[in-house]
Amino acid sequence: ILNVEQSPQSLHVQEGDSTNFTCSFPSSNFYALHWYRWETAKSPEALFVMTLNGDEKKKGRISATLNTKEGYSYLYIKGSQPEDSATYLCAFPRSNDMRFGAGTRLTVKP
Amino acid sequence: NAGVTQTPKFQVLKTGQSMTLQCAQDMNHEYMSWYRQDPGMGLRLIHYSVGAGITDQGEVPNGYNVSRSTTEDFPLRLLSAAPSQTSVYFCASSLNSGGNTEAFFGQGTRLTVV
């Protein structure tokens, strides 16, 4: 059974705050870990695909780290802006099967 | 570049009716998949394909059929719609199978079965 857990379920922050959330996944037979950003009424869009233990990836104010040995990944947003409001999904592929977490819904208040 | 095109955007069906959700990609991607999104749950994989002529079941395949006659197209068929199939459906494609390339998603189909 592939269980991908994300926490917290939702998060409300003020504009300018930095924030982070967690994705937990099975640590055995690791292939990759994906992060997606999903804005309301749109489709999920890829942020990062991470494949190596210790990987750190960055895109603007968003960054992610990966620990495959203990089975977790963190997503960080520095200086949150209202346009960062979205649901952030992580996904764990195993062979041809992709399992998504339920997501963390981030709301950034101006 | 159109990416992944999914139709229709909205659909209402009566219990027992059949329909096909269309999905096409123009990126020459090998891997295509269908997911459903239900409140409080992550995207769940229904069926996937690793190339033309090859399909397989995902986590929640019951009540759905797929085919992949070309690289570009991957339609999802509901043979006899049930209220439990009320959901938002997403088609996605990736360059290859194995999970180490990002997925590109269609616009989604909101299906209601009454």
What is the Cβ-side half-sphere exposure of residue B33, based on CA atoms within 13 angstroms?
30
Per-residue pLDDT, A2? 62
When scoring B96, B100, B104, B110 by the number of chain A Cβ atoms within 10 A, the one with the most, hence best to mutate, is B100
User: Using one digit for the tens of pLDDT, what is the confidence trace for B5-26?
Assistant: 999 999 999 999 999 999 999 9
Tell whether A30 lies on the interface with B, counting CB pairs under 8 A: no
Residues A73 and A84: their CA atoms lie apart, in Å, by: 19
Phi-psi region of A102 (alpha: psi -120 to 50; beta: other; left: phi over 0): alpha
User: Using one digit for the tens of pLDDT, what is the confidence trace for A50-68?
Assistant: 999 999 999 999 999 999 9
More confident residue, B1 or A53: A53
Residues A10 and A31: their CA atoms lie apart, in Å, by: 27
Per-residue pLDDT, B107? 95
Tell whether A95 lies on the interface with B, counting CB pairs under 8 A: yes
Per-residue pLDDT, A29? 83
Residues B3 and A97: their CA atoms lie apart, in Å, by: 22
| Mean pLDDT (whole number) for B83-98 | 94
Q: How far is B95 from chain A (nearest CA, A)?
A: 12
Is B106 close to A43, i.e. CB distance below 8 A?
Answer: yes
Is B56 close to A96, i.e. CB distance below 8 A?
Answer: yes
Residues of B in contact with A94 (CB under 8 A): 99
Tell whether B48 lies on the interface with A, counting CB pairs under 8 A: yes
Taking a C-beta distance cutoff of 8 angstroms, is the pair B94, B101 a contact? Answer: yes
